[in-house]
């Protein structure tokens, strides 16, 4: 009587983890975009006028326009990617229907190039073709999963949400602060948020956080100073 073989817990799929990391990175970058864009608007308008109504209107318009733009851009981008993936899948289905043996030889060649012996590569290719020929070819040739395609609507909503959450910070900071403290409070809040976003982005990418934080904080400070100067001087000229 033989003992049952121990059950091995499968490791998380590498592609799935990479996909989640890409979504997380996109969320951080979307929030960062919202912070910078709306902060630039409200600080620029504050440089031209002290009117809370004007600042609020401009900031809100920037938030809405930015969120719509991000959502539309992401929707178009992911839709194009999905259409391209579907076209590749259809092409591979046709190739498998026209020449299944030729496709099996092609699959075996791919595994030989990865280091398998000719006999082992031929066996692997034959077994994979018998199990799911389309999935085997898409994975080996293109690293695609035919059952796992991106959702344009989900991507658009996530992008818009990330931008909105980021954009709310400078808008709330400048609206909730006393007039004499609007600019310093907003600048501090924005630079702190940018630093946090830079640290998160560096952690996701596995790079040193100090460099990423310094780069984004310095860039944000320069951008805020520039937009304030533009608003101040143009406001004076027009006023």
pLDDT of residue 149: 63
Nearest to 187 by CA among 31, 42, 29, 13: 42
pLDDT > 80? residue 187: yes
Boundaries of every domain in the chain: 17-238
pLDDT of residue 192: 92
* Model confidence band, residue 43 (pLDDT cutoffs 50, 70, 90): very high
Mean pLDDT of the chain: 81
Helix axes 182-205, 152-176, angle to 10 degrees: 150
Q: Which residues of 34-56 are buried (b: 16+ CB within 10 A; e: fewer)?
A: bbbbbbbbbbbbbbbeeeeeebe
**141 class by beta-carbon count within 10 Å (0-12 exposed, 13-18 middle, 19+ buried):** middle
What distance, in Å, lies between the first and last C-alpha atoms of the chain? 94
pLDDT > 70? residue 177: yes
pLDDT of residue 133: 78
pLDDT of residue 9: 46
The C-alpha atoms of residue 50 and residue 171 are separated, in whole angstroms, by 14
* Model confidence band, residue 8 (pLDDT cutoffs 50, 70, 90): very low
pLDDT of residue 148: 62
The C-alpha atoms of residue 154 and residue 38 are separated, in whole angstroms, by 24
Asked which of 3-17, 61-75, 166-180 is least confident by mean pLDDT, the reply is: 3-17
| 3-class state of residue 177 by DSSP | coil
* 151 or 164: which leads in pLDDT: 164
8 A C-beta contact, residue 78 and residue 152: yes
Asked which of 27-41, 146-160, 193-207 is least confident by mean pLDDT, the reply is: 146-160
| 3-class state of residue 99 by DSSP | coil
Instruction: Take residue 116 and report the two structure tokens written for it.
Output: 């398998």
Nearest to 173 by CA among 70, 17, 35: 35
Radius of gyration of the chain (CA): 26
* Model confidence band, residue 24 (pLDDT cutoffs 50, 70, 90): low
pLDDT of residue 1: 42
* Model confidence band, residue 98 (pLDDT cutoffs 50, 70, 90): confident
pLDDT of residue 191: 92
HSE, CB side, 13 Å, CA atoms: give it for residue 128: 22
Average pLDDT over residues 83-96: 80
Average pLDDT over residues 184-196: 91
* Model confidence band, residue 127 (pLDDT cutoffs 50, 70, 90): confident
């Amino acid at each position: 009587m033989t003992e049952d073989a121990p059950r091995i817990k499968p490791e998380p799929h590498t592609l799935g983890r990479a996909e989640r990391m890409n979504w997380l990175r996109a969320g951080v970058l979307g929030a960062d975009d919202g912070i910078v864009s709306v902060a630039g608007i409200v600080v620029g308008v504050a440089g031209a006028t002290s009117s809370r109504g004007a600042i609020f209107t401009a900031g809100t318009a920037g938030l809405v326009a930015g969120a719509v733009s991000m959502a539309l851009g992401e929707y178009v981008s992911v839709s194009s990617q999905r259409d391209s993936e579907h076209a590749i899948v259809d092409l591979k289905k046709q190739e498998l229907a026209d020449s299944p043996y030729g496709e099996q030889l092609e699959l075996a060649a791919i595994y030989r190039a990865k280091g398998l012996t000719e006999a082992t590569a031929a066996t692997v290719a034959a077994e994979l073709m018998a199990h799911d020929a389309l999935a085997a070819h898409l994975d080996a040739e293109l690293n695609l999963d035919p059952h796992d395609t991106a959702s344009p609507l989900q991507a658009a909503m996530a992008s818009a949400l990330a931008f909105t959450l980021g954009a709310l910070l400078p808008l709330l900071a400048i609206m909730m602060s006393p007039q004499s403290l609007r600019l310093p409070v907003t600048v501090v809040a924005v630079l702190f948020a940018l630093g946090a976003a830079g640290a998160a982005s560096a952690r996701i990418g596995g790079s040193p956080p100090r460099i990423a934080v310094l780069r984004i904080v310095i860039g944000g400070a320069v951008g805020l100073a520039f937009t304030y100067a533009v608003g101040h001087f143009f406001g004076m000229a027009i006023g």
